[in-house]
Amino acid sequence: MNTLQVVLDALVVAQSTLLTGAVVVMAIAARGYAGTAWGNVLQPITVAIAGFLGTTMAAQLPLPTAWYLVAATAFWTVSVAAVALATYRLDRMTRGVGA
């Protein structure tokens, strides 16, 4: 195993660890603000981070390339849709347009 591969593996482990922590923190924040305008914004962000974590973790599984591409595409699609929803909700909240 060469040095570059070791560094890349270490970065993937670090990314997975940080994303796992971020999912936990966001879930706590979303739960704490449940029923409020901020809670509506935070809920999809939790889903987005979980999707990014899923993509990172799928890369570590011994999946055939085609299966990995399907899984990664699904996780990223969910993440992007969740970020778009959070952005929409934040925009509406900051402009004072309904909940």
The domain of 55 spans 3-95
Tally of domains within the chain:
1
26 token code pair: 């966001």
**pLDDT above 70: residue 98:** no
What is the band of 89 on the pLDDT scale with cuts at 50, 70, 90?
A: very high
* pLDDT score at 99: 52
Give one DSSP letter per residue of the chain, joined into a string: --HHHHHHHHHHHHHHHHHHHHHHHHHHHHHHTTTSHHHHHHHHHHHHHHHHHHHHHHTTS---HHHHHHHHHHHHHHHHHHHHHHHHHHHHHHHT---
| Mean pLDDT, residues 70-76 taken together | 95
- Residue type (1 letter), 29: A
* pLDDT score at 59: 86
15-71: per-residue pLDDT in tens? 999 999 999 999 999 999 999 999 999 999 999 999 999 999 998 888 899 999 999
Other residues' Cβ atoms within 10 Å of the Cβ of residue 83 = 17
